[in-house]
Amino acid sequence: MRNTLNYSIYLIIIFLLISFERVEDSIAKNNDKPLFSYSDFLMYESEEDQLLNVIQHTSSFERYSFSKVKPGESQYWIKFDVEKYSEDPLLLQLVYSRFDHLELYRSFDNKTFEKVGEGGILYDNELKKKIYRGYSYFPISLEDKNIAHYYLKCNNDDKPFFEFQAVPKDLILEKTAKIDQKINSLDLILYLFIGAVSLMILYNFCLYFMVKDKGYIYYALHATAVLIFNYCFSGKIIFHLENAEYFQQIIHWSGFTSAALFLIFGQYILNVKSKYSNLYTILNIVIVGLMILNVFVYFEWYFVITPLGTILINATYLPLIYIAKREKSFSITAKFFYYGILINFVFITLHIFQTFDLLPVLFGYKNVSALLIGSGLEQMIFSLSLGAKITDSQAKVRKLMMEQNVMLENEVSRRTKDLLEAKEEVEIQNETLSEMNSRLGKQHDNIKSSINYAKRIQDASLPTIKNIGKYVNDFSVLHIPRDTVSGDFYWFKRVRDKTIVIVGDCTGHGVPGALMSILAIQKIETIVSTLEDIKPSVILEQLDQEIRYALNQKSSHLNDGMDAVVCVIDEKKKEIEYSGAKNPLVVIQENELKVFKGSRNSIGGNLNFLDDPFNDQTISYKDSPITMYMYSDGYQDQFGANGKKFMPKKFKNLLLEISKYNHIQQEKILYSELNKWTNNGKIEQIDDILVFGMSLE
């Protein structure tokens, strides 16, 4: 592949060198006989407008040279004689002109003069008989004479019109047919170039929108700029302008822009940013420099911009050639890019050599053919490089997949080994866990058995429903422990024609609460059995003292205790004596709910209020029956599905609503409402629940 491409490049160069026409010092030939010699052009700088006065200074005329033309405002007369060599029509072609206005006069006797043509940079294109680039063409005709004298008046009114060349020969006398043949040949190459590059641009634009690869859009933009530059450089842009005044500006703008887009495309296709960071910075500086030159073009500083821009554009090729040469061994894309840029660099070099007359020109005109051919070949190979990019990507994917497969195989082997080791560890851990689970199961069974036994003890310490029913006809007990055992308790006893009912809410729940409740029940039994005059407040005071003493709360930091309600019912007097430790008594009488609040002090603990002792309150039910409720705070503090508590107010309203039913129904309603509130038990119970209700007549 490499040898084939090298040989192809050499053959192209040799073929083109062989096909170049050799430009002799003579400007035109007729059967190898010179029509005119370049040295026959004579010039004279003068502000004189009258030809009769000009020809009087024949001795002042000197050999014409482009380098003798001064910049700025000036006027020259160029004199030449034409002898009749053949019947073929001739044209005087003025190339690389600095002159804004040209007038050609003819005389056969140097006495009478006829204006035969006009031209110049600022001459209107519509008035020109032949248009090519910024050149001026004048018809040369001897009619039936053997010799004619021509005088070309050259005026420069503005900034110099500059196109860089080393040895300019800008005045050419040539057969009209031969000039037309050269222009037609160049047009053929140009239109072939435009067609081929346009197809590549359209194709790559479509590829960009299909695969979204920035390389295609960079190539399409660069190729578009190259197309515009060559269209302008070939002179076709002149047809769209009023005159040739801005021809040079357009060429420079399109050339610098094309070079900048070429650098952007090259950076992307060769991945310069990640692999050659220093060169990447240099190339970006060059891009900025080209854009700055585009600004200077507006001011028409061509004597600086043109040489500097030419050097800068050609210099951009060298780092990209260097990078592409290094990368082509590893990438098909870089290989195609290398040969594409190398071929175009060769043709640009040929163009420069032609400009300096170091090589013959192709098709008779400088500055066009070599650039067209080089640009066309470059764009074609660049397009192939983008296609090769897919091959490179596939190769990278295959390589990556192979590397990934090897990595995966190694990873699988490593993980398999780790899994086997982990399996052995898991088996050992499973055996250990199995033994621990067995021990924990036994311990759990023992704990569960102990808790169940504690529940039986707690249940035995609570009064039975049957025993309560002996003394009270209508009552209810809703007792729902949070855990197996409860910190809430109720106590009921008949003592000397009085009925004592106590409801307590011990600190905590579960086993700690249950232990506290059993301790409280034992102390209550002792206190009641020793009292002669049974008063609720006395029971609470002594219970407070007993709990503090039993828990040694004077010297310890234990803050455990309980809230309690004590009611002593005297059925003969139809009275209820009440005293409470933080818990209230709710009484409903004649469909009116009343709340009797107790002391702010609790039983036990270290947070009691010295100025709020336990007091007795008397409630009579002589005139009308009464329903009373004693309860812990578990029901009203329970959270519902909405994340809010049931709340005391809502609970009391519920008690008022159900008070019209018997207590068996009341218990069912209380349980049903609680079940609804907790979404059928989906909301976790937060505390023990106890509601003791009874009706008295």
Q: What is the CATH number of the domain that holds 470?
A: 3.60.40.10
pLDDT value of residue 359: 62
Mark whether 256 and 312 lie in a shared domain: yes
pLDDT value of residue 4: 44
465 lies in some domain: yes
pLDDT value of residue 638: 93
pLDDT in tens, 438-465: 888 888 788 788 788 878 888 888 898 8
Whether 34 shows a pLDDT value over 50: the answer reads: no
Q: Which residue has the higher pLDDT, 352 or 33?
A: 352
Mark whether 639 and 582 lie in a shared domain: yes
Phi, psi of 62 (to 5 degrees): -135, 170
Q: Which residue has the higher pLDDT, 560 or 503?
A: 503
* Averaged pLDDT, 554-579: 89
pLDDT band at 243 (very low <50, low <70, confident <90, very high): low
439 lies in some domain: no
pLDDT in tens, 351-369: 667 666 666 655 444 555 6
pLDDT value of residue 293: 85
pLDDT value of residue 541: 93
CA distance 432 to 426: 9
Q: Which residue has the higher pLDDT, 371 or 594?
A: 594
| Least reliable range by pLDDT among 76-80, 123-127, 546-550, 645-649 | 123-127
pLDDT band at 163 (very low <50, low <70, confident <90, very high): very low
> How many Cβ atoms sit within 10 Å of the Cβ of residue 150?
21
Whether 311 shows a pLDDT value over 50: the answer reads: yes
CA distance 671 to 349: 103
Place of tokens 């357009």: 250
pLDDT value of residue 507: 84
pLDDT band at 20 (very low <50, low <70, confident <90, very high): very low
pLDDT band at 608 (very low <50, low <70, confident <90, very high): low
Mark whether 149 and 285 lie in a shared domain: no
CA distance 200 to 254: 19
Whether 625 shows a pLDDT value over 90: the answer reads: yes
Range of the domain at 95: 37-161
Mark whether 566 and 594 lie in a shared domain: yes
| Least reliable range by pLDDT among 169-178, 414-423, 652-661 | 169-178
Burial environment of residue 609 by CB neighbours within 10 A (0 to 12, 13 to 18, 19 or more): exposed
442 lies in some domain: no
Choose the final residue of a domain: 402, 428, 450.
Answer: 402
| Least reliable range by pLDDT among 216-225, 617-626, 657-666 | 216-225
Whether 161 shows a pLDDT value over 90: the answer reads: no
pLDDT value of residue 662: 93
CA distance 237 to 132: 9
pLDDT band at 397 (very low <50, low <70, confident <90, very high): low
pLDDT band at 542 (very low <50, low <70, confident <90, very high): very high
Choose the final residue of a domain: 356, 379, 402.
Answer: 402
Hey, what are 136's tokens?
Answer: 């001026």
| Least reliable range by pLDDT among 175-189, 530-544, 662-676 | 175-189
Choose the final residue of a domain: 130, 161, 192.
Answer: 161
Whether 39 shows a pLDDT value over 70: the answer reads: no
pLDDT band at 387 (very low <50, low <70, confident <90, very high): low
Mark whether 145 and 217 lie in a shared domain: no
Chain center to CA of 566: 73
Q: Which residue has the higher pLDDT, 659 or 507?
A: 659
pLDDT value of residue 574: 93
pLDDT value of residue 554: 77
pLDDT band at 371 (very low <50, low <70, confident <90, very high): low
pLDDT value of residue 580: 95
pTM of the entire predicted model: 0.49
Whether 522 shows a pLDDT value over 80: the answer reads: yes
Q: Across 10-14, 142-146, 560-564, which has the greatest mean pLDDT?
A: 560-564
Q: What spatial distance separates the first Cα and last Cα of the chain, rounded to whole Å? A: 118
Q: Which residue has the higher pLDDT, 493 or 56?
A: 493
**Structural domain count, the chain:** 3
Strands (E), 358-451: none
The closest alpha carbon to 697, from 621, 590, 586, 619, belongs to 621
pLDDT value of residue 168: 45
Angle between helix 214-233 and 369-461 (nearest 10): 160
154 lies in some domain: yes
Q: Across 202-211, 307-316, 373-382, which has the greatest mean pLDDT?
A: 202-211
Q: Across 153-157, 248-252, 570-574, which has the greatest mean pLDDT?
A: 570-574
| Least reliable range by pLDDT among 5-9, 50-54, 118-122, 417-421 | 5-9
pLDDT in tens, 584-605: 999 999 999 999 999 988 998 7
Residues in the chain: 697
Angle between helix 332-355 and 302-327 (nearest 10): 150
Percent over 90 (pLDDT), the chain: 23
3-class SS at 41? coil
Mark whether 511 and 540 lie in a shared domain: yes
pLDDT value of residue 396: 67
pLDDT band at 30 (very low <50, low <70, confident <90, very high): very low
pLDDT in tens, 270-305: 878 888 888 888 888 888 888 888 888 877 776 777
pLDDT value of residue 14: 47
Whether 36 shows a pLDDT value over 60: the answer reads: no
Whether 537 shows a pLDDT value over 90: the answer reads: yes
The closest alpha carbon to 99, from 64, 136, 149, belongs to 136
176 lies in some domain: no
Mark whether 392 and 478 lie in a shared domain: no
172 lies in some domain: no
3-class SS at 432? helix
| Least reliable range by pLDDT among 151-165, 502-516, 582-596 | 151-165
CATH number for the domain harbouring residue 67: 2.60.40.2380
**Are the C-beta atoms of 269 and 214 separated by less than 8 Å?**
no
Mark whether 211 and 335 lie in a shared domain: yes
Mark whether 536 and 682 lie in a shared domain: yes
Mark whether 385 and 505 lie in a shared domain: no
Mark whether 157 and 207 lie in a shared domain: no
pLDDT value of residue 146: 79
CATH number for the domain harbouring residue 366: 1.20.1070
Q: How many helices (H) and strands (E) does the chain have?
A: 15, 22
pLDDT value of residue 11: 44
pLDDT value of residue 32: 40
What is the pLDDT of the chain when averaged over all its residues?
80
Mark whether 525 and 618 lie in a shared domain: yes
Whether 372 shows a pLDDT value over 80: the answer reads: no
Q: List Cβ<8 Å contacts ≥24 apart for 510-514.
A: 510/482, 510/483, 510/484, 510/485, 511/451, 511/454, 511/483, 511/485, 512/487, 512/560, 513/485, 513/486, 513/487, 513/488, 513/688, 514/454, 514/455, 514/458, 514/485, 514/486, 514/487
